[in-house]
C-alpha cells in the first residue's frame, strides 16, 4: 500500500523564515550593493530585473511556456547561464526538451496530470493529460528587491487544482547574484502529488555548463514520450556538478544533498550556479534530478524513484491546506567558489 503524507497549513516545519536581507551572512560594505530595479513590459508579458543599470533576468508570464519562468539568469559580467532555446535559440545549443525554459517550478504528477512536460510539442489529442500554470498577478516592492507573483495550476479544461503564491527576493553582493524563491501552494481541492521523477524546481543551463557528451541519448517523460538528446561538439563544454556531500559529475543524480553547485568556464571566465535546499522544506535534504545534458533540478517529491523503492512519499495536500517550499539560487562569476564560500550562503 502506498504511503500517504498529509500536509497541513498549521505545520510550522514548513514555514520558512528568511532574513530581511538575503545573504546577510556575508560580510561586505554597503557600497558593494546596488539597488534592485524592475521594469514592467505588459505588452510582452514580462518584468525585467536590474541591479542598478545592469540587467539580470526577466520574469516571463506568457502562457506560451505553460508556466511562469525567470529567463535568462545573467552574471555580473553579463553572461547568460541559461539555455536560450526555446525563447532565444543560440547556435550550437541543444533543442531537446522544449519544456525546459529558464528557471521554473512545477511537477510531473498532480492529480495524475503532467505539468512538468507540457509544451507546444504535445499533440492536441494528448493535451488532456497535461496541466498549465497560469499567471494571475504580480506586485513589486523595490524597497526589499522583491517580486510577488500569484498563479493558478489548472487542468486542460480550466479546473484550478492549486493556487501558487511566490515571492522572489533578488540581491547582489560583489560577483554574486542571489534569488530567494519562497513558494506557497494552496489546494483548491484535494491534490495528490504522487512520487514522480519529473520535478520540482529546475534550471536549463547554457551549453558551456553541460557535462561533455560522449554519446547520443534518448530520454522519456512520465508518459513515455521520447526525446532524443544528440551528441554535440564538446568545444567549450566544461560543466561539472559538486554536491554538499562531496559527490561530483553524473554521480550527483538521484542522491540527497543540502546544495549542489554546477561550475564551468565560459569564454575564459569561471562561472557557477548553486541551488540550495531550505532546512524547512519537505524531504530535506532534497534529491537531485541533475543531468549532464543541462537539466539542473531539485526534486523532494520523487523519493520512490530516486531511492529505487526504499522510500515513498506520495504527498497529499487536502483542500484548503498549503505547503511552503523555498530555495536559494546563487549566480557567481570570476572565480571557482570553494566549499566554505558556498556554505556561507546555505543559511537563509
- What pLDDT is attached to residue 288? 98
Whether residue 314 contacts residue 301, with contact meaning beta carbons closer than 8 Å, is answered with no
- What pLDDT is attached to residue 222? 54
Q: How many residues does the chain have?
A: 348
- What pLDDT is attached to residue 216? 74
User: Which helix (H) or strand (E) segment is 251 a member of?
Assistant: none
Instruction: Give φ, ψ of 311 to 5 degrees.
Output: -125, 155
User: For residue 283, is pLDDT > 60?
Assistant: yes
Q: How far apart are CA 68 and CA 294, in angstroms?
A: 20
Q: How far apart are CA 118 and CA 97, in angstroms?
A: 10
- What pLDDT is attached to residue 221? 57
Q: How far apart are CA 243 and CA 271, in angstroms?
A: 16
Whether residue 191 contacts residue 316, with contact meaning beta carbons closer than 8 Å, is answered with yes
Nearest Cα residue to 14 out of 345, 342, 329, 321: 321
Q: Residue 185, Cβ neighbours under 10 Å: how many?
A: 24
Strand partners, 184: 165, 324
Q: How far is CA 222 from CA 93, 210, 225, 249, in A?
A: 24, 23, 8, 24
Q: How far apart are CA 98 and CA 89, in angstroms?
A: 11
Q: How far apart are CA 316 and CA 301, in angstroms?
A: 11
Query: Going by DSSP bridges, is the β-strand pair 5-7/315-317 parallel, antiparallel, or unpaired?
Result: parallel
132 vs 19, which has greater pLDDT? 132
Average pLDDT, the chain: 90
Longest dimension (CA), the chain: 58
Q: Is the sign of the CA dihedral 104, 107, 108, 113 positive or negative?
A: negative
DSSP letter at 248? B
**pLDDT tens sequence across 30-42:** 445 789 999 999 9
**pLDDT tens sequence across 76-112:** 999 999 999 999 998 888 889 999 999 999 999 999 9
SS3 19: coil
Q: How would you classify residue 159: left for phi > 0, otherwise alpha for psi between -120 and 50, otherwise beta?
A: beta
Q: Helix count (H) and strand count (E) of the chain?
A: 2, 21
Whether residue 197 contacts residue 100, with contact meaning beta carbons closer than 8 Å, is answered with no
Domains of the chain: residue spans and CATH? 5-15+34-343 (2.70.98)
- What pLDDT is attached to residue 9? 33
**pLDDT tens sequence across 135-186:** 999 999 999 999 999 999 999 999 999 999 999 999 999 999 999 999 999 9
SS3 string of 185-242?
A: EEECCCEEECCCCCEEEEEEECHHHCCCCCCCEEEECCCCCEEEECCCCCCCCCCEEE
Mean predicted confidence (pLDDT) in 299-306: 97
User: For residue 65, is pLDDT > 80?
Assistant: yes
Amino acid at each position: 500500500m502506498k504511503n500517504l503524507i498529509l500536509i497541513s497549513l498549521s505545520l510550522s516545519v514548513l514555514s520558512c523564515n528568511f532574513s530581511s536581507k538575503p545573504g546577510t551572512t556575508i560580510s561586505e560594505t554597503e557600497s558593494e550593493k546596488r539597488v534592485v530595479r524592475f521594469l514592467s513590459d505588459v505588452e510582452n508579458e514580462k518584468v525585467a530585473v536590474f541591479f542598478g543599470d545592469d540587467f539580470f533576468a526577466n520574469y516571463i508570464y506568457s502562457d506560451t511556456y505553460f508556466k511562469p519562468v525567470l529567463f535568462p539568469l545573467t552574471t555580473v559580467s553579463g553572461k547568460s547561464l541559461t539555455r536560450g532555446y526555446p525563447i532565444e535559440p543560440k547556435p550550437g545549443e541543444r533543442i531537446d526538451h522544449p519544456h525546459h525554459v529558464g528557471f521554473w517550478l512545477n511537477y510531473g504528477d498532480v492529480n495524475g496530470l503532467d505539468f512538468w512536460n507540457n509544451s507546444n510539442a504535445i499533440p492536441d489529442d494528448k493535451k488532456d493529460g497535461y496541466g498549465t500554470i497560469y499567471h494571475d498577478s504580480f506586485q513589486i516592492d523595490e524597497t526589499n528587491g522583491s517580486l510577488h507573483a500569484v498563479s493558478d495550476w489548472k487542468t486542460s479544461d480550466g479546473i484550478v487544482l492549486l493556487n501558487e503564491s511566490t515571492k522572489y527576493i533578488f540581491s547582489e553582493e560583489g560577483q554574486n547574484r542571489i534569488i530567494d524563491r519562497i513558494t506557497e501552494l494552496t489546494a483548491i481541492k484535494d491534490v495528490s502529488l504522487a512520487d514522480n521523477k519529473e520535478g520540482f524546481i529546475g534550471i536549463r543551463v547554457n551549453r558551456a555548463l553541460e557535462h561533455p557528451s560522449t554519446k547520443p541519448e534518448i530520454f522519456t517523460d512520465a508518459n513515455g514520450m521520447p526525446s532524443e538528446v544528440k551528441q554535440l561538439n564538446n568545444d567549450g563544454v566544461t560543466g561539472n556538478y559538486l554536491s554538499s556531500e562531496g559527490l561530483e559529475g553524473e554521480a550527483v543524480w538521484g542522491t540527497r544533498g543540502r546544495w549542489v553547485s554546477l561550475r564551468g568556464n565560459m569564454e575564459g571566465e569561471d562561472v557557477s550556479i548553486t541551488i540550495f535546499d531550505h532546512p524547512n522544506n519537505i524531504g530535506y535534504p532534497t534529491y537531485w534530478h541533475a543531468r549532464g545534458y543541462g537539466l539542473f533540478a531539485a526534486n523532494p517529491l520523487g523519493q520512490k524513484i530516486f531511492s529505487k523503492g526504499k522510500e515513498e512519499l506520495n504527498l497529499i495536500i487536502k483542500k484548503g491546506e498549503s505547503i511552503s517550499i523555498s530555495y536559494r539560487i546563487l549566480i557567481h562569476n570570476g572565480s571557482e567558489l570553494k566549499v566554505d564560500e558556498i556554505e556561507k550562503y546555505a543559511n537563509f
